[in-house]
């Protein structure tokens, strides 16, 4: 089966997009299309240029016999800005307010477009770090963690509030929830995390940071380290922040149930994240 | 900014891949690239041909003023076969066996490659149906449901075992778990499902089908209907199957903890699913 350049470009684009951060040797493409390596190199040059121009990401070339090409998903600053503004508007809709000042976000976290874009932005923020896996806590963190994991090509482990027979033996810790000051339990399957792993913690919502602090303690039990912390929403309404170093997409600054008001602003995404795809690079 | 054909093909491929089942008017591309509609049509022809040849999916053209083009993710039968065989091998690894004859699958469901591929196969099986949303139950069904939802471009709603304050008002039902015959509760946020919705139920594991049956009862409370049922694993080891019509990727036929044996075979995916991308179509 012979492939024209146009067909190769389409198929290579798909091939690379579904394998972010995976090193693909040039011979894979050369064999796949029955083409010379020089043609494949040219194709990759065009793809890299277009990915950067269009804000899709970039291709990294690893030279040498064990070399190849790697797709790195990155987002342009303007594009991230636009999406975060859109998120702020969605979250400030007054009918999201629930009794007790809680915010209904289930529809947003159930929307695959939004979840994938949140995952892409978080992955882009941590693209420069060495990450072995993503940790999150059931339930609402799961879709976001999986979306980010797809772009970073790492597995996800899920911390639960109770142990399940299908998890095998587990490690559990007690932690103090930051806002309610209640003692809670967190459980992780023993075989889901290896010693020394570098872990990105991802969650949907952070108030005082008690849950995230709990995950950090759990990582210590496994002799694993925190590579980064990323959340969709942080709430300013916290007496005392237990976690310092994190990336947030949006920030709740004021929630007033009586007058049905929600104020949502940009999180610290742009101040904490220097890892954007620069226009000049293209 | 002018675009060459090669650049257009790369960018259009990405644009379409991240928007499955979304109707994209040709003018969107014509304006994006400053190109004539006739050139865009030619580009789309090449993309359609390559997508079909390479087992990525197909493009549907909707004619007329409100028309455009839609990417439909589909999988080739041989590719699905290969992946399912791979899954069977992974699942039959003896160290997955847990006391009580349970199977450790947490690592598989935490692997974004596997999860995305499972989602793609399930989405492909139900590609021909009208589906408004996907329903699953916390926790392990969530990644699979979201992966399928990404390919079908529909939202996900998550049923839980307990109600959470952040869900707002909820509807709850009691159901009998098929295997243990225990009475359990299932809760769904009231505003997450609209009346008359056509729902695809997705889960990681089905034994007797009690949980899925519970979800069906819950749908009745919302006057919603079941469009289909898809599971990653079914277990043959069920006295009485409560659910008839479903698609499964793999089937556990024999689990023996004493002699450390697990037998996993292909599910009913190929007998129940006629919606493959045919070689002849390309």
What gap in Å lies between CA B85 and CA B103, rounded to an integer? 18
Given B73, B101, B128, the domain boundary residue is: B73
- Do A98 and A60 reside in the same domain of the chain? no
pLDDT tens profile A153-210: 999 999 998 878 888 899 999 998 876 778 999 999 999 999 999 999 999 999 989 9
CA-CA distance, B145 to B154, in Å (whole number)? 10
How many CA atoms does the CB half-sphere of A204 hold within 13 Å?
A: 21
The shortest C-alpha distance from B260 to chain A (Å) reads: 15
The ipTM assigned to this model is: 0.94
Instruction: Work out how many domains chain A is built from and give that number.
Output: 2
Q: Which of A162, A179, A108, A180 is nearest to A140 (CA)?
A: A108
Measured CA to CA, the distance from residue B214 to residue B159 in angstroms comes to 10
- Contact map slice: A 72-101 vs B, CB within 8 A: 98, 100
- Cβ–Cβ pairs < 8 A, chains A and B: 159
Residue span of the structural domain in which B30 resides: 5-73
Minimum Cα–Cα distance from A3: chain B residue: B50
Residue of A nearest to B188 (CA): A106
Reading phi first (left if > 0) and then psi (alpha if -120 to 50, else beta), residue A75 is in: beta
Whether residue B98 and residue A143 make contact (CB cut-off 8 A), yes or no, is no
What residues of B are in contact with residue A46 (Cβ under 8 Å)? 6-7, 10
Is residue A256's pLDDT more than 50?
A: yes
Which band of pLDDT confidence, cut at 50, 70 and 90, is reported for residue A281?
very low
Cα A122 from Cα A134, distance rounded (Å): 11
pLDDT reported for residue A260:
86
With beta carbons under 8 A apart, name residues in chain A contacting B168: 98, 104
- State the Cα–Cα distance between residues B213 and B219, nearest whole angstrom: 10
Let me know whether B15 and B114 are in one domain: no
pTM (2 d.p.): 0.95
Are B186 and B101 contained in the same domain? yes
The answer to whether residues A113 and A10 belong to one domain is no
Judged by a CB distance cut-off of 8 A, whether residue A190 touches chain B is no
pLDDT of residue A258: 85
> Taking a contact as any Cβ pair under 8 Å apart, which residues of chain B between 223 and 282 contact chain A?
none
> Would an 8 Å CB–CB cutoff place B55 in contact with chain A?
no
Of B73, B93, B125, the domain-final residue: B73
Q: B82 and B214 share a domain?
A: yes
Q: Which residues of B fall within a CB distance of 8 Å from A113?
A: 153
Is residue A62 domain-shared with residue A84, that is, in the same domain? Answer: no
Which of B73, B107, B124 terminates a domain? The answer is B73
Find, among A79, A81, A78, A108, the residue nearest to A92 by Cα. Answer: A108
User: pLDDT digits over A33-54, tens only?
Assistant: 999 999 999 999 999 999 999 9
Give yes or no for a contact between A155 and B111, defined as CB atoms under 8 angstroms apart.
yes
What are the pLDDT digits (tens) for A89-103? 999 999 999 888 789
pLDDT recorded at residue B282: 37
Residues B93 and B13 in one domain: no
| A49 contacts B7? CB cut-off 8 A | yes
Which member of A98, A150, A165 has the closest CB to residue B116?
A150
CATH number of the domain that residue A235 is part of: 3.40.50.2020
Q: What is the mean pLDDT of chain A?
A: 92
Based on the domain organization, do B111 and B239 belong to the same domain?
yes
CATH code for position B41: 1.10.10.10
**Same domain as B97, residue B58:** no
What distance in Å separates the CA atoms of residue B152 and residue B234, rounded to the nearest whole number?
23
Q: Let me know whether B110 and B61 are in one domain.
A: no
B47 with B131, same domain?
A: no
Contacts of B113 in chain A (CB under 8 A): 153
Angle of helix A141-152 versus helix A112-125 axis, rounded to 10: 60
Alpha helices of chain B — where are they, by DSSP H?
5-17, 26-33, 37-53, 77-91, 106-109, 112-125, 141-152, 210-221, 269-272
Does the beta-carbon distance from A112 to B150 stay under 8 Å?
A: yes
Residues A40 and A166 in one domain: no
Is the CB of A142 less than 8 angstroms away from the CB of B147?
Answer: no
Which portions of chain B are predicted below pLDDT 50? 280-282
């Amino acid at each position: 089966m012979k492939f024209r350049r146009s067909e190769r470009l389409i198929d290579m684009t798909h091939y690379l997009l579904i394998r972010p951060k995976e090193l693909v040797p040039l011979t894979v493409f050369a064999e796949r299309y029955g083409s010379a390596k020089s043609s494949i190199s040219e194709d990759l040059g065009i793809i890299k240029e277009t990915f950067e121009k269009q804000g899709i990401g970039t291709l990294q070339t690893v030279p040498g016999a064990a070399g190849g090409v790697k797709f790195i998903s990155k987002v342009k600053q303007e594009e991230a800005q636009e999406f975060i503004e859109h998120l702020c508007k969605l979250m400030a809709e007054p009918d999201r307010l629930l009794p007790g000042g809680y915010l209904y976000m289930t529809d947003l976290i159930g929307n695959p477009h939004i979840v994938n874009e949140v995952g892409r932005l978080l992955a882009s923020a941590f693209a420069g770090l060495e990450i072995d896996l993503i940790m999150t806590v059931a339930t609402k963190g799961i879709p976001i963690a999986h979306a980010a994991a797809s772009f970073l090509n790492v597995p996800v482990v899920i911390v639960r509030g109770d142990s399940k027979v299908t998890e095998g033996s587990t490690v559990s810790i007690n932690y103090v929830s930051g806002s309610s000051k209640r003692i809670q339990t967190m459980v992780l399957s023993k075989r889901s995390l290896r010693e020394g792993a570098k872990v990105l913690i991802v969650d949907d919502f952070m108030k005082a940071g008690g849950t995230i602090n709990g995950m950090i303690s759990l990582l210590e039990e496994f002799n694993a380290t925190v590579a980064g912390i990323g959340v969709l929403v942080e709430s300013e309404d916290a007496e005392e922040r237990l976690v310092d170093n994190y990336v947030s997409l949006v920030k709740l600054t004021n929630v007033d149930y009586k007058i049905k008001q929600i104020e949502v602003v940009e999180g610290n995404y742009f101040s904490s994240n220097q890892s954007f795809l620069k226009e000049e690079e293209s």
